[in-house]
Every structure is written in structure tokens, then in C-alpha cells.
């Protein structure tokens, strides 16, 4: 009769080869640790995008996947994918990717440049790709700082060789690995006030995700305290004869308390508050000084009905709300920063700046 029971070695082999929840190799504890990673990236996305856009932003982890990397492209909406590639220092040079569809990348880039993400170009150009890469770079930097604190002493950073590109469908996030290589994906829904929500995906090979989760669990595990040294047996001392209850010992008076020196009490004096001209905003400005912006010169404005607009034709005159000779407005991403007069340079128009809005007002108008 064949023994139908499994021995302990066979049970251990089955357990070590069994996939974790979600069809991958991560154990339940590892999946929980990686869910915390996705949550930290979501919090960083909410904070950074909210600061750049000057609006209410919410970011929620909506899914956690363990799939072959060849299946990820089908889960991202649209025909093109914006891929931010990085190598994580402090995690054995683990590769990682931050992904978004083209519309999400355009919206992020427009908000980086001070726009409202409502009038987006038909396709991403170099200007938008550069702005989107800068935005994701700040997001990743914030997330890695928080993850370094989670790892209790291990400092995480992105390698200087980070890159970003817009790729068409059919790609794989990790070209050096086969299409059936298993990856971990954390899906984050980013919802910016006034903008259609879009999804950010954080991804890494499953083996690297398992190593990452192991380090997180190791850092979170309680440290064992050393066992106290055994106490030596008390030495036997000769018993001291106790005084009789009928003859109490005389009590000596308590020693006098030392006199405290007198305390010199003065009213507090505060320095006068001065117009620092938003000096604290310089740290925020340093994050975006390299981002190109759109400069627009506005001659004037007017309001017309749809019928009046449809009636316009060659030779029609549109009267504006400014008098002849008044300075024109100079706008940066729709925000007024200066006024000036129109000049002609060779065969091109130009603006000679005659008035500059104060620095405080410029910073306030840019939402910094």
C-alpha cells in the first residue's frame, strides 16, 4: 500500500513554491509591507502635486498586482505610456519605474508650468516631457525620504541616471527581463481638484519587491533586549539589635533648606515683524526655477455674445477695454507680472517693460 501522506520535507517544498496572494511569490506579510510602500508613494504624490498645483489633491492606492510584466501595458489607459526609470541606491541597486498614461503626464506637466491642466496639447512635446519628468523627480525624492525613515537607517535615493520617455504600447517596464518575468505593481489614483483623475503606477521586479519587503519587516521587528544579569545572593550580615519599643530613639531636627538666590524677572521683548517679502517661499521657488514658462502679452480684453463672434469676418473691428497708448500686460502662464509698451525690433514686435509687479505680488499670483 502506497503511503498517501506527505512527509515534512515535501510539505516544506510545497509551501516554499506556492504563490502568495494575488498570484505572485510575495507572502501575505510581504504584500502588506509593499502596500505600505505604495501608500507612502501616494502620500508623496498628494503633497508634491498639491504644492505645485496649489489645489486640493487626493491620492489613493486602488490596487496591488503581481503579474508578468508583459501584461502591464494592457492595464494602462491610452496608446502611449510615460515611463520614469530609476535605480534605487540603498536597495542593492534595485530597478523601479513610475508610470502614467500620456494624458496624466500632460496634466502633471501643465500644472508644473502653472497651468490648470484643462487645455492640453494633442501630444506631448519636449517642453511637456521635461516638465513631467521634473514633477515625478520631486515626487520620487519625497517618497524615498519617507521610505528611508521607514527602513530605520537605510538611506534610499534615486541614481543620477534617471530618465523619462513616452513609449508606445507593446513596451515592457524592464526591457532587460523577459516578458513573462513577474513584477509587483502598486496602482495609485491621483485626483486633482478640477482635473480628470489619472493613475500612477509604481513598479519593480518581484524579486526586488520581496527583498524590499523583507528589509521593511526587519526594520519594523521589535529588537530583543539583553537578558538582565543574574543577581548575586545577598551577603549575610550580622543582625543589628533593634531598640525596645518602650524606649524610642530621639529624632534629630531636619537640616535647614538652602536659600535660593533671587530670580531676575523681566518682561519678554519680541522683535518687530518686518516685510520679509515672502523670504520663506524661496525654498519652494528653488524647486521650479528650471521649468520653462509661457509669456503672453495682452493688448486688451472685451466681451461679446456668441452671435457677435459668429458674425465676425474680414474687416470687422473688435473694440478692446484699453485706451490707445495704455501699457499692455505681460503675463507668465496667465499671471500678471509686468506692464510695458509695444516696440518694433527689426521686423518683430517686442515689449519694453515699464512697470514690474512687486515680488510679493508675483509670488502670490503664481500660487507659491
Identify whether 320 is part of a domain: yes
Please report the pLDDT score of residue 273 as a whole number. Answer: 47
Identify whether 284 is part of a domain: no
Identify whether 64 is part of a domain: yes
Please report the pLDDT score of residue 240 as a whole number. Answer: 53
* CATH code for position 337: 2.30.330.10
Identify whether 103 is part of a domain: yes
Half-sphere exposure of residue 8, counting CA atoms within 13 Å on the CB side? 0
Please report the pLDDT score of residue 101 as a whole number. Answer: 86
CA–chain centroid gap for 192, Å, is 14
User: Within this chain, do residues 79 and 174 fall inside the same structural domain, yes or no?
Assistant: yes
End position of a domain, from candidates 220, 239, 263: 220
pTM of the model: 0.56
Cα dist from 29 to 91, 152, 214, whole Å = 19, 18, 9
pLDDT mean values, one per 10 residues, the chain (368 residues): 53 46 70 90 88 84 92 84 88 88 86 79 80 85 84 78 76 89 93 88 92 86 65 56 54 63 59 48 62 84 85 84 83 83 82 82 60
Identify whether 267 is part of a domain: no
User: Within this chain, do residues 321 and 186 fall inside the same structural domain, yes or no?
Assistant: no
* CATH code for position 151: 3.40.1550.10
End position of a domain, from candidates 197, 220, 243: 220
End position of a domain, from candidates 220, 246, 269: 220
User: Within this chain, do residues 326 and 213 fall inside the same structural domain, yes or no?
Assistant: no
Show the domain range for 360: 293-365
Specify whether the CB–CB gap between 73 and 82 falls below 8 A.
no
* Nearest by Cα to 99 from 114, 116, 85: 85
Number of domains composing the chain = 2
User: Within this chain, do residues 297 and 216 fall inside the same structural domain, yes or no?
Assistant: no
Please report the pLDDT score of residue 10 as a whole number. Answer: 57
User: Within this chain, do residues 198 and 331 fall inside the same structural domain, yes or no?
Assistant: no
Q: Name residue, grid cell 535605480.
A: 87
Identify whether 82 is part of a domain: yes
Identify whether 225 is part of a domain: no
| Long-range contacts of residues 284-292, Cβ cutoff 8 Å, at least 24 apart | 284/51, 284/368, 285/363, 285/368, 287/138, 288/52, 288/112, 288/134, 290/134, 291/112, 291/113, 291/130, 291/131, 291/134, 292/113, 292/127, 292/130, 292/131
User: Within this chain, do residues 204 and 80 fall inside the same structural domain, yes or no?
Assistant: yes
Q: What's the N-to-C CA distance of the chain in angstroms?
A: 80
User: Within this chain, do residues 27 and 148 fall inside the same structural domain, yes or no?
Assistant: yes
Identify whether 240 is part of a domain: no
User: Within this chain, do residues 212 and 297 fall inside the same structural domain, yes or no?
Assistant: no
User: Within this chain, do residues 168 and 38 fall inside the same structural domain, yes or no?
Assistant: yes
User: Within this chain, do residues 215 and 307 fall inside the same structural domain, yes or no?
Assistant: no
Amino acid at each position: 500500500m502506497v503511503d498517501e501522506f506527505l512527509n515534512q520535507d515535501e510539505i516544506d517544498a510545497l509551501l516554499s513554491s506556492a504563490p502568495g496572494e494575488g498570484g505572485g511569490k510575495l507572502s501575505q506579510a510581504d504584500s502588506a509591507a509593499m502596500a505600505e510602500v505604495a501608500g507612502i508613494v501616494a502620500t508623496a504624490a498628494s503633497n508634491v502635486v498639491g504644492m505645485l498645483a496649489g489645489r486640493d489633491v487626493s491620492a489613493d492606492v486602488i490596487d496591488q498586482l503581481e503579474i508578468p510584466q508583459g501584461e502591464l501595458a494592457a492595464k494602462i489607459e491610452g496608446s502611449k505610456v510615460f515611463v520614469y526609470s530609476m535605480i534605487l541606491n540603498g536597495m542593492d541597486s534595485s530597478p523601479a519605474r513610475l508610470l502614467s498614461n500620456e494624458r496624466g503626464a500632460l496634466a502633471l506637466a501643465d500644472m508644473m508650468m502653472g497651468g490648470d491642466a484643462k487645455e492640453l496639447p494633442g501630444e506631448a512635446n519636449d517642453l511637456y516631457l521635461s516638465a513631467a519628468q521634473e514633477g515625478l523627480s520631486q515626487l520620487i525624492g519625497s517618497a524615498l525620504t519617507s521610505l528611508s525613515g521607514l527602513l530605520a537607517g537605510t538611506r534610499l535615493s534615486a541614481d543620477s541616471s534617471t530618465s523619462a520617455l513616452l513609449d508606445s504600447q507593446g513596451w515592457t517596464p524592464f526591457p532587460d527581463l523577459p516578458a513573462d518575468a513577474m513584477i509587483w505593481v502598486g496602482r495609485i489614483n491621483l485626483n486633482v481638484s478640477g482635473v480628470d483623475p489619472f493613475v500612477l503606477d509604481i513598479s519593480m521586479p518581484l524579486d526586488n519587491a520581496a527583498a524590499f519587503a523583507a528589509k521593511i519587516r526587519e526594520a519594523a521587528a521589535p529588537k530583543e533586549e539583553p537578558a538582565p544579569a543574574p543577581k548575586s545572593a545577598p551577603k549575610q550580615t550580622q543582625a543589628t539589635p533593634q531598640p525596645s519599643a518602650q524606649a524610642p530613639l530621639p529624632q534629630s531636627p531636619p537640616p535647614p533648606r538652602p536659600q535660593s538666590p533671587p530670580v531676575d524677572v523681566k518682561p519678554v521683548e519680541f522683535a518687530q515683524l518686518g516685510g520679509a517679502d515672502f523670504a520663506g517661499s524661496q525654498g519652494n521657488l528653488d524647486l521650479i526655477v528650471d521649468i520653462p514658462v509661457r509669456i503672453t502679452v495682452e493688448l486688451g480684453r472685451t466681451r461679446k455674445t456668441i452671435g457677435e463672434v459668429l458674425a465676425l469676418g474680414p474687416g470687422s473691428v473688435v473694440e478692446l477695454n484699453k485706451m490707445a497708448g495704455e501699457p499692455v500686460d505681460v503675463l507668465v502662464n496667465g499671471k500678471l507680472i509686468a506692464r510695458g509698451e509695444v516696440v518694433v525690433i527689426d521686423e518683430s514686435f517686442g515689449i519694453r517693460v515699464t512697470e514690474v509687479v512687486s515680488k510679493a505680488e508675483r509670488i502670490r499670483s503664481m500660487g507659491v
